[in-house]
Structure 1
Amino acid sequence: MTRAGLSPLAWLDEVERQRRADGLRRSLRTRTPVGAELDLASNDYLGLSQHPAVIEGGVSALRTWGAGSTGSRLVTGNTELHEGFERALAEFVGAESALVFSSGYTANLGAVVALSGAGSLLVSDALTHASLVDACRLSRARVVVTPHRDVAAVEAALAARTEERAVVLTDSVFSADGVLAPMRALHDVCRRHGALLIVDEAHGLGVRGDGGRGLLHEVGLAGAPDVVMTTTLSKALGSQGGVVLGPTVVRDHLIDAARPFIFDTGLAPAAVGAAWAALEVLIAEPWRAQAVLDRAAELASVCAVDERPESAVVSVILGEPEVAFGAALACLDRGLRVGCFRPPTVPVGTSRLRLTARASLTGDEMTLARAVLTDALSALA
């Protein structure tokens, strides 16, 4: 058959066949407004997405500002609500300024690309979030990917560089296994070599640090002039959106140079209002941050995970994709929804159940989780 007779999408049939053979085919799982299962898969770490005050914050913003922001923040999409929330969040985490984006993904794209570019070096941990990986690809900078949490490799890359500018990228809490970045050591290396440190606190905000102020605050790097923090509003704050926090000069530069900020419609007012309300709940109830870690420790104990979790994430490595997927389905059949991470999200041979603790888990819910997880994991022995 000539090329003219072939569908330009015919190659997808073979791709899907191979994915199914490898146990890596994904599908969307629809949930109802009132979940029938106990959820240990979401990133709603503080249990705030359904909090009455948070919902009211979104509704109030919706009534005041309308359903959409109506345009780019440089045109009509910048409101008093956006700027008020930016000031409140910056004060909370100890940053000089903040700039809200439409998502955590676009916040990372905007920050990394605008602060690097051709003629600079990006040094990125091998397990950084996909948004940071994509930012590296878009940056036109030279990129060095270092082994996971390997500070010596970061130092070697910085020491060997010929570029004038360098940026080091890391998650504060790595999303697949919940471990922490060696933050102080990374910063020390960056300072010795005149490099900027960009830290994605998506899984640190609300969980680590005094009252949930993040890992940067916990290790004494909040407000450091050579550190930029990014985060999302869709996890601990239970809403939607992303933020870049750091020196005012960075905020000013991003407004001029960050394409995901300049050309994207501003975050919807309802999302901003809900996130601000969630921040106020966290400030008033700082116990929520420690409650997440305590619940994570209980889940780890049930699953015979040796080390106490450092975040809301409990990673139960089972090996092959089919094993992990089967265990996740067994839990779902018993009324417990858990995450299932398979390649390429995690390395080959490390497919896993990914459990996420929540500050609002009740005693009855923990009893159910304990029973279901014990049975599902015992069946694999």
Structure 2
Amino acid sequence: MPTDVKRRYFELLREGLMGAAAAREVGVSTSCGSLWFIDAGSMLVPDPGPISPRFLTQDDRIAIADGLHAKQPVKEIAASIGKSLSTVYREIERNRKPDGRYQPWWAHNQALLRRGRPKEEKIRSHEPLRTLVREKLTEKWSPQQVSRFLARSFGNDPAMRACPETIYRALFAGLLGFKDARLRTGRTRRKKQRRGVPQPNKIKNMTLIHQRPLEVNDRTQPGHWEGDLIIGRGQGSAIGTLVERSTRYVRLVHLPHGWKAPQVRNALIAQTADLPTQLRRTLTWDQGRELALHQDIEALTGLRIYFCDPHSPWQRGTNENTNGLLRQYFRKGTDLSVHTSHDLREVARQLNRRPRMVLGDKTPSEAMRDYLTGPLTC
């Protein structure tokens, strides 16, 4: 029987028609309709419709059943209904009948039964579980650690299991106490989430490091720089750092007027103005907002700017190493605005005249002179 006929039969039942009337309406016998009804579990749960696009609809489940009957791969079924592969796998595993068949109306009824609300919170209704969770939180365990412990210790007792989200909800609802059992962060409210919401501070038109020319990785050609800021006390001051990847040659950028995007742009342009053209190839930076005007910097310096992935400092490891050396001169937690441009030139001069094992005990200044016809001043 075509799927549309069955769909219409169950729609009529949900609208309140008796089985015989619904069967006559779709053109089948009463006994045929009765067999459909029995196969669906002999019940029909009122369907208010999906409360979120992430839930599967009755039509989605019919498409899954049709796909399985046609022996389609689950990946193709998921693509046809616009859901993820894991969602369809979970649906088939969770809502198939005891005999292993996936029957769409049975599956939909089961999903609606589980969705019924209101339900009493699991931790509220189960004293042993509540006590054990409270004890572990008092010992500064995280909800994830507590959940894994419950899964290990009570694998055969579903009543003593709780996922991290259940524990978080109980915490924020006050079911576990407000003083003893709390998160290690001390937070008593849920932190706002921004899943799927574009970050307002994301830098526009970035070119990521994965598009950077492969020749940069070889370190055989000078002119490829890495940059960053070292921040002073209270984030009130900063110094820009530039290091050339091949020679480890260092330049320091004076930022006496702050380190927002316009100040950093102007300072970088001024600092690189005297560099020969062959030393202005690329600049790799992290995704800090101080480089939001990177397109202006590219246009006025000739440097092609590439951005690292978030939280990936190893992608500009030379610069991270250099910043560590610079902390010998600019201690953490100090005010960096007290250092003049002359101070920065002197520090850069000392670093560039310090022999480096990675250069075969040459100094960065000597390595740079090997590439240039004359000495490069700081």
TM band (smaller chain): under 0.3
Q: Larger % of helix: which?
A: 2
Rg comparison, structure with higher value: 2
Q: Larger % of strand: which?
A: 1
TM-score (norm 2): 0.23
Q: Which has the higher contact order (CA 8 A, sep 6+)?
A: 1
